[in-house]
């Protein structure tokens, strides 16, 4: 049974002050959208980092919590996307960790909140919240004077804010596109087994595709297509070196 934040939000826990659900080790990590927890007025500590939360941060996130309280939130290393909602600017002493997510917008309004991020905003501005796009830091944000957010090297990029590393632009092809190119290049329509290939299903459910990512739509590590009537009919475009393909000589 998969764990969902919705199950927790439905509990009547008006006095709940701390919630720690971070770093679940199971492959079935907490997933789904991030709930607003707007019915928990005393919740000043939330740690749900290292899970599979997707979508935007709700604009009414922690709506009923006293905005002058010291609040610490860890939502890092999920798949939360989009902009940081402007409604969070109402909090005066917020420490919120969003590194390793898919955040792509942080309004300048957040850059002068002197008591945010344990005072780091006063010293480093928005970089204390998240490194800008196309910059990186081992912590995803500037935390002290020893290291600033650094520009990506030529030929690399960091498409989201709060990146810990940059990636080679040679890896920008989405894995779905690469797999589709492989299918076309080695006569996929005549494969003996081709379950779900070139469909809208998650790519890790396609026949013979192995992944190491909890998300079923990324993290391809192997292709197991032995004895499947493969025949090269067109040159496949080069795939990322991180995609480790196992194509036995007996594949045809």
Residue 2: what pLDDT? 47
Residue 140: what pLDDT? 94
Check residue 228 and give left, alpha or beta (phi > 0: left; psi -120 to 50: alpha): alpha
> Is residue 95 within 8 Å of 71, Cβ to Cβ?
yes
> Is residue 55 within 8 Å of 33, Cβ to Cβ?
yes
Q: Is the pLDDT of residue 243 over 50?
A: no
Higher pLDDT pick, 4 / 203: 203
Any idea which of 163-167, 177-181, 216-220, 225-229 has the lowest mean pLDDT?
A: 216-220
Query: What is the rounded average pLDDT of the residues 193-209?
Result: 86
Q: How confident is the model at residue 240 (pLDDT cuts 50, 70, 90)?
A: very low
pTM of the entire structure?
0.67
Phi, psi of 19 (to 5 degrees): -135, 120
Residue 142, token pair as written in the block: 């500037």
Q: How far apart are CA 249 and CA 252, in angstroms?
A: 7
Query: What is the rounded average pLDDT of the residues 222-227?
Result: 90
């Amino acid at each position: 049974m998969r764990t969902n934040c919705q199950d927790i939000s439905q509990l009547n826990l008006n006095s709940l002050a701390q919630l720690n659900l971070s770093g679940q080790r199971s492959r079935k990590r907490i997933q789904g959208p991030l709930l607003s927890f707007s019915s928990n007025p005393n919740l000043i500590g939330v740690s749900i980092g290292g899970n599979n939360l997707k979508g935007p941060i709700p604009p009414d996130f922690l709506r009923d919590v006293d905005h002058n309280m010291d609040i610490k939130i860890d939502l890092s290393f999920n798949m939360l996307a989009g902009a940081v909602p402007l409604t969070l600017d109402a909090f005066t002493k917020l420490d919120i960790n969003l590194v390793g997510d898919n955040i792509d917008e942080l309004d300048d309004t957040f850059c002068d909140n002197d008591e945010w991020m344990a005072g780091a905003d006063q010293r480093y501005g928005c970089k204390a919240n998240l490194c800008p796009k196309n910059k990186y830091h081992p912590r995803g944000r500037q935390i002290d004077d020893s290291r600033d957010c650094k520009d990506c090297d030529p030929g690399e990029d960091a498409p989201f804010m709060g990146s810990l590393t940059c990636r080679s632009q040679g890896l920008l092809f989405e894995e779905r596109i690469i797999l589709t190119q492989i299918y076309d290049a080695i006569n996929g329509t005549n494969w003996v087994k081709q379950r779900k290939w070139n469909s809208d299903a998650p790519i890790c459910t396609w026949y013979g595709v192995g992944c190491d990512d909890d998300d079923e739509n990324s993290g391809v590590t192997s292709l197991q297509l032995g004895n499947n009537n493969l025949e090269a009919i067109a040159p496949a475009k080069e795939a990322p070196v991180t995609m480790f393909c196992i194509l036995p000589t007996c594949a045809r």
